[in-house]
C-alpha cells in the first residue's frame, strides 16, 4: 500500500514539477539556415537518449501502441490534415467539422449518452478536464448564484488537471481527499463527509491512472443526485476499453451516462483508442443543463 501511495503522489505531482524549473535564457535564431539532412541528424542526436514512445513497460507515453499497421493508418490520416486549421472547420474545411461530429458521436454512443448530448474534441486530458470544470462552474453560477466560492471534491489519485482548472477559472476551491481507500479507490466515506453547501462538483475515475482501479461511481452518483451536484467521470483510460470489455461479457463497474447523475465524461482516444495525440473528447449531457461546450463565432475577420 505504501509503495502504491508513493506512485500516486508522483502521478499527482509530476505535472507540477516543470513549473518550478529554472527560467530559460534568451536564445537567438541561427545566423544561417540548415539543410534538412543536418536538421534531421540534429534531431536524431537530441533524441538518442529518449525512451521509446511505446513498449511493454512504457505507461507514460502520449499514445499507446496497437499494431504497426494501425499506427501507420493513424499517422497517415493525421499528416493529411496537419496543415488544416480546425478554427475554420465551419467555413473552408467542412470535412474537419464532419470528422469531429463523427468521432464525438461514436464516443457518445459508447458511453450510453442520452439523445441530445454533446461533446468537444480537445488537445488532451487537461483541456478536457478544464472544459468539464468550466461547464460545471457555469452551471453552478446560474443555478446557485448565492454561492461566493465554489468547491469541487477530488479523490486522492485523480488527475492534477482539476487543480489547474480551478486555478484558471478563479473562485473555485479544490478539496482533494487525503488518501485512497483500502481497495485503492476513492474514499467514499471521506467524500460524503467533505460535502458542504458550497460543493458543486464531484469527480471519479474510471479507472484512476496510478492504481488502475475504478471508483464507486454509483455511490458518487447517488450523492450527486441527493445534493444536486455535478458529477464528472475521468475515463481517460477506461473510456476506450470498458465498452468493448462489456461486449466481451466482462463485468464492468457502472461509470457512464447510463447513470442519470453522471453529467460529464472525459475519454482519451489517443491512449487505448490508438489515435494520435491529440484528440480527446469531453462529453456533456443534453439540455436543460446550460452552457454546452461548443461555441461558434460568425463575425470574426481573422484569428
Spatial separation of the C-alpha atoms in residues 245 and 252, rounded to whole Å: 7
Q: Is the pLDDT of residue 288 over 60?
A: no
User: Long-range contacts: 215-219, Cβ < 8 Å, 24+?
Assistant: 215/155, 215/185, 215/186, 216/185, 216/186, 216/188, 216/253, 217/253, 217/254, 217/255, 217/259, 217/262, 218/253, 218/254, 218/259, 219/188
Contacts of 199 (CB under 8 A, 6+ apart): 151, 152, 153, 175, 227, 229
Backbone angles phi, psi at 138, to 5 degrees: -60, -45
Under the banding of pLDDT at 50, 70 and 90, the label for residue 76 is very high
Q: Give the cell for residue 173.
A: 476551491
Give the pLDDT confidence score for residue 287 in this predicted structure: 57
Confidence of residue 276 (pLDDT cuts 50, 70, 90): confident
Convert the pLDDT of each residue in 164-186 to its tens digit. 999 999 999 999 998 887 889 99
Determine the angle formed by the axes of helices 161-169 and 125-143, rounding to 10 degrees.
50
Average the pLDDT over 138-144 and give the result. Answer: 94
Q: Let me know: does 12 contact 161? Beta carbons within 8 Å.
A: no
Q: What is the rounded CA–CA span in Å between residue 214 and residue 237?
A: 10
Give the pLDDT confidence score for residue 282 in this predicted structure: 64
Please report the pLDDT score of residue 281 as a whole number: 59
d(CA 141, CA 148): 9
- Residue 71's pLDDT band (boundaries 50, 70, 90)? confident
DSSP assigned state of 202:
E
CA separation, residue 160 to residues 47, 84, 157, 249 (Å): 28, 31, 9, 33
Other Cβ atoms closer than 10 A to 43: 10
SS3 57: coil
Strand partners, 131: none
Class for the domain spanning 79-284: alpha beta
pTM of the model: 0.83
Spatial distance between the Cα atoms of 268 and 78, rounded to a whole number of angstroms: 16
Higher pLDDT, 299 or 33: 33
**Residue 89: pLDDT band by 50, 70, 90 thresholds?**
confident
Parse the chain into domains and list their residue ranges: 79-284
The pLDDT of residue 299:
41
Higher-confidence position of 122 and 255: 255
Whether residue 192 is predicted with pLDDT greater than 90 in this model: the reply is yes
The mean pLDDT value for 242-252 works out to: 95
Residue 237's pLDDT is 86
Return the pLDDT at 206: 96
Is the pLDDT assigned to residue 70 strictly greater than 90? no
Contact 232, 263 (CB under 8 A): yes
In the predicted model, what is the mean pLDDT of residues 241-263? 95
Query: What is the model's pLDDT at position 179?
Result: 82
Element (H, E) at 219: helix 217-227
For residue 176, the model assigns a pLDDT of 95
**Closest by Cα among 86, 112, 81, 111 to 100:** 86
Q: What percent of the chain has pLDDT over 90?
A: 54
Amino acid at each position: 500500500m505504501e509503495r502504491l501511495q508513493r506512485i500516486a503522489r508522483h502521478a499527482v505531482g509530476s505535472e507540477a514539477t516543470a513549473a518550478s524549473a529554472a527560467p530559460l535564457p534568451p536564445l537567438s535564431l541561427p545566423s544561417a539556415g540548415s539543410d534538412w539532412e543536418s536538421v534531421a541528424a540534429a534531431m536524431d542526436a537530441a533524441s538518442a537518449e529518449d525512451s521509446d514512445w511505446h513498449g511493454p513497460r512504457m505507461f507514460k507515453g502520449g499514445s499507446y501502441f496497437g499494431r504497426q499497421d494501425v499506427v501507420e493508418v493513424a499517422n497517415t490520416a493525421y499528416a493529411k490534415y496537419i496543415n488544416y486549421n480546425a478554427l475554420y472547420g465551419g467555413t473552408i474545411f467542412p470535412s474537419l467539422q464532419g470528422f469531429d461530429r463523427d468521432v464525438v458521436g461514436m464516443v457518445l454512443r459508447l458511453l450510453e449518452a442520452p439523445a441530445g448530448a454533446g461533446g468537444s474534441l480537445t488537445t488532451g486530458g487537461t483541456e478536457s478536464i478544464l472544459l468539464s470544470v468550466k461547464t460545471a462552474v457555469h452551471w453552478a453560477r446560474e443555478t446557485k448564484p448565492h454561492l461566493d466560492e465554489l468547491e469541487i471534491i477530488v479523490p486522492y489519485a485523480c488527475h492534477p488537471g482539476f487543480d489547474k482548472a480551478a486555478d484558471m477559472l478563479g473562485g473555485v476551491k479544490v478539496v482533494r481527499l487525503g488518501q485512497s481507500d483500502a481497495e485503492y479507490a476513492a474514499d467514499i466515506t471521506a467524500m460524503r463527509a467533505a460535502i458542504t453547501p458550497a460543493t458543486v462538483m464531484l469527480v471519479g475515475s474510471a479507472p484512476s491512472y496510478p492504481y488502475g482501479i475504478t471508483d464507486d461511481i454509483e455511490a458518487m452518483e447517488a450523492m450527486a443526485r441527493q445534493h444536486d451536484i455535478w458529477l464528472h467521470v475521468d475515463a481517460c483510460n477506461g473510456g476506450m476499453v470498458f465498452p468493448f470489455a462489456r461486449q466481451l461479457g466482462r463485468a464492468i463497474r457502472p461509470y457512464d451516462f447510463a447513470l442519470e447523475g453522471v453529467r460529464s465524461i472525459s475519454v482519451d482516444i489517443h491512449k487505448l483508442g490508438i489515435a494520435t495525440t491529440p484528440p480527446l473528447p469531453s462529453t456533456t449531457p443534453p439540455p436543460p443543463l446550460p452552457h454546452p461546450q461548443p461555441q461558434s463565432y460568425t463575425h470574426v475577420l481573422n484569428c
